[in-house]
Amino acid sequence: MINLRTREEVKKIQKACIISAKALELAGSMCEDGVNTFEIDEAVRKFIISENARPNFLNYNGYPRSCCISVNDMVIHGIPTKRIILKRGDIVSIDVGAEYDGYNGDNAYTFVIGEVPKEVEKFVSVTENSLYNGIERALEGNRVGDISFTIQNIIQQHGYSIVREFVGHGVGENLHEEPEIPNFLDDIRFKGPRLVEGMVIAIEPMTTIEPTEIEQCEDGWGIKTKSNVLAAHFEHTVLITKHGPVALTLL
């Protein structure tokens, strides 16, 4: 079932999204050479709790930390650890969410440490751009597939690849709700559900700089590229309204 949110529910989701966005901003401000990913996670966890919210990734299906920090060839779900120390030239995808008064927010951003080659900068910025173009298609009357199609086209036009095994999702009382929001559309006859005012969805392109398979790490969580090529991930929680999409996790 796809939930449509009342004004009161939207207010709570909005609050959860602002906290999620501030947590992501804090995490990004800590992304420097020499910092380990565990310290970032600790700061994020403490911040979310200080805002009277709950880190909604923590214990989600047994996930052990408050955010996911996925470095370079890690696509998503990298578990923060003292063993991973950020260094110049890394690209670092951080995914974090908060629950406030029973409602959730979810967002992600790929940060760059120091200088990276022009091609890498371009890959990261095209992925971010695909998210914003996808959001622009989140119009009442459009279908989920209109978002998917736009994201896929932008990524593929530049020669990059979409990770297909993971998709965006509805957000509300649960972190993951219906509908699924894929980042690709293979058959325009199956565009999925229509977008309606009051729907809240997380749009989250996950991309790789070259075509590759992905594999799960031994920790049972981390998802990395098999060929070790770079991956990027951006995400916003978006509200559908009569007046157009609102990215609730945009500060």
* Residues 31-60 contacting ligand MF3, CB under 6 A: 57, 60
Q: Which is nearer to ligand MF3, 188 or 217 (CB)?
A: 217
Binding of ligand MF3 by 63 (CB under 6 A): yes
Q: Which does 60 bind (CB under 5 to 8 A by kind): Co ion, ligand MF3, none?
A: ligand MF3
Binding of ligand MF3 by 177 (CB under 6 A): no
Binding of Co ion by 23 (CB under 5 A): no
Binding of ligand MF3 by 77 (CB under 6 A): yes
CB of 198 to ligand MF3, least distance (A): 21
Among 90, 95, 99, 177, binds ligand MF3 (CB under 6 A): 95
Binding of Co ion by 202 (CB under 5 A): yes
Binding of Co ion by 238 (CB under 5 A): no
Q: Tell me, letter by letter, the H, E, C secondary structure of the chain.
A: CCCCCCHHHHHHHHHHHHHHHHHHHHHHHCCCCCCEHHHHHHHHHHHHHHCCCEECCCCHHHCCCCEEEEECCEEECCCCCCCCECCCCCEEEEEEEEEECCEEEEEEEEEECCCCCHHHHHHHHHHHHHHHHHHHCCCCCCEHHHHHHHHHHHHHHCCCEECCCCCEEECCCCCCEEEEECCCCCCCCCCCCECCCCCEEEECCEEECCCCCEEECCCCCCEEECCCCCEEECEEEEEEECCEEEECCCC
Binding of ligand MF3 by 90 (CB under 6 A): no
Q: Which is nearer to ligand MF3, 63 or 132 (CB)?
A: 63
Binding of Co ion by 106 (CB under 5 A): yes
CB of 29 to ligand MF3, least distance (A): 20
* Positions that interact with ligand MF3 (CB under 6 A): 57, 60-61, 63, 68, 77, 95, 97, 106, 169, 202, 204, 235
